[in-house]
Structure formats: structure tokens, C-alpha cells
């Protein structure tokens, strides 16, 4: 038996570094392929419009009258957009109140988004809206992972008529999420 008093040969760390780098690359590629590029996929199922012309008539004996003030009228444009939100993330998505805007030759106008709690009162005033609205989008609604949720968004453009919608330059709907970036789609 021979006695070896020399220190052992030092190994090069190159092999260990290459193995660690290869493992890290495999993990990074796996994460990249596993996670979706966008957390949600947004699409439009349909867009419908309702443009009521409301007449307000002065009532006799109903209180003080304003001299020179006669009957009044108001035009409003309701746009009912049915959207589909597909959750591509492996976590639930929580919806926040959407926004919309309309650009005409006169300029850009933001819509008033009708809250889901107010839809029933709106339908009492305008029963023609009832068949257009199904499953209204509410603040805080959840889209479960891997599922698609279809919801209705009711937009009000005060003072506009049906012709304003037909001759618009552009219209967009932005669906916002509680913990993700908002997504915008054009309204036809």
C-alpha cells in the first residue's frame, strides 16, 4: 500500500456550471410554455343599439311653471355589447368596471357604463332593452381558470342618436381586470 500525501487534483467547476445552466434553461422554457402570453382573451359576441327619443311635457297644475319653458325632449343612445372573456391564466380573473368611448366628427365622448344594479330600473323605463340584456357584467365578477364568461355591458351616450352611431369614426370598449392589464377591443 502506498501512502499518498499529495493533495487531490482540483476539479474544474465548468461541468457543474454547465449542468446548472442547462437545468435553469429547461425550467425557463417550461415556465414560458406553461404560462399564457395574455391572461385573458376578449371577444365580442354582438353589439346592439337602442336610441330612444324621450319627450317631457309640461304638466298643468304640477307645481311652479317656468315662463317660456315648454315641453322638452332628450335623445340618448344605448349600446349593448355582449363580450366573451376567456381566462387563459391558471388563476381566476376578477373583472372591474369597463370603460368605452366613441369618436365622431364632433369629437370623442366617453360612455356612462350602466351598473348591473341599475339595469332592472333601466328596463322598467325602456322595456325594449330587456331582450338585449342578459347576464350583465358586474364589478368583481369572476372568470374561473380555463373557462369563458359571456356578459352584457350597457353603455349610455347621452345626447346622441342612432345616426351618430352609424356614422361614427371609431368606438372602443376597454374591459378592466382587478390584477391584470386592461384589454381594449373595437366596437363595430
Does the pLDDT at position 15 exceed 90? Answer: no
Task: Say whether pLDDT at 1 is over 70.
Answer: no
Q: Is there a contact between 118 and 54 (Cβ–Cβ < 8 Å)? A: no
Q: What is the pLDDT of residue 13?
A: 80
Question: Is residue 42's pLDDT more than 70?
Answer: yes
pLDDT at res. 71 = 66
E strand or H helix at 78: strand 72-87
For the question of whether the overall pTM of this predicted structure is more than 0.75, the answer is no
pLDDT attached to residue 98: 93
Domains defined along the chain, listed by start: 40-56+73-186 (2.60.40)
Q: Does 170 have pLDDT greater than 70? A: yes
pLDDT bucket at 59, cuts 50 / 70 / 90: low
Give the confidence band of 70 by pLDDT, cuts at 50, 70, 90: low
**What are the phi and psi torsion angles at 173 (to 5°)?**
-125, 125
Residue 7 has pLDDT above 80, yes or no: no
Residue 119 has pLDDT above 70, yes or no: yes
Across the range 161-180, mean pLDDT stands at 90
Of the chain, the percentage scoring pLDDT greater than 70 comes to: 86
At residue 94, the pLDDT reads 92
* Confidence band, pLDDT 50/70/90 cuts, at residue 84: very high
What is the full DSSP assignment across 85-143?
Answer: EEE-SSS-EEEEEEEEEEEETTEEEEPEEPPGGGHHHHHHH-GGGGGG--SB--TT-EE
Mean pLDDT, rounded, of the chain = 85
Q: Residue 75 pLDDT more than 90?
A: no
pLDDT of residue 81: 94
Flag whether pLDDT at 62 surpasses 60.
no
Amino acid at each position: 500500500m502506498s501512502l499518498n500525501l499529495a493533495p487531490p487534483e482540483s476539479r474544474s467547476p465548468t461541468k457543474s456550471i454547465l449542468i446548472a445552466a442547462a437545468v435553469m434553461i429547461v425550467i425557463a422554457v417550461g415556465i414560458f410554455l406553461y404560462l399564457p402570453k395574455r391572461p385573458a382573451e376578449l371577444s365580442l359576441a354582438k353589439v346592439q343599439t337602442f336610441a330612444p327619443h324621450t319627450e317631457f311635457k309640461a304638466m298643468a297644475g304640477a307645481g311652479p311653471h317656468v315662463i317660456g319653458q315648454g315641453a322638452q325632449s332628450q335623445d340618448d343612445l344605448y349600446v349593448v355589447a355582449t363580450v366573451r372573456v376567456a381566462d387563459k391564466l391558471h388563476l381566476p380573473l376578477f373583472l372591474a368596471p369597463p370603460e368605452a368611448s366613441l369618436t365622431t366628427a364632433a369629437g370623442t365622448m366617453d360612455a356612462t357604463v350602466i351598473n348591473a344594479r341599475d339595469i332592472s330600473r333601466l328596463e322598467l323605463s325602456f322595456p325594449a332593452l330587456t331582450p338585449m340584456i342578459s347576464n350583465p357584467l358586474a364589478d368583481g365578477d369572476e372568470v374561473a381558470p380555463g373557462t369563458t364568461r359571456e356578459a352584457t355591458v350597457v353603455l349610455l351616450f347621452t345626447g346622441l342618436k342612432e345616426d351618430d352611431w352609424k356614422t361614427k369614426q371609431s368606438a372602443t370598449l376597454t374591459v378592466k381586470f382587478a390584477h391584470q392589464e386592461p384589454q381594449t377591443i373595437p366596437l363595430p
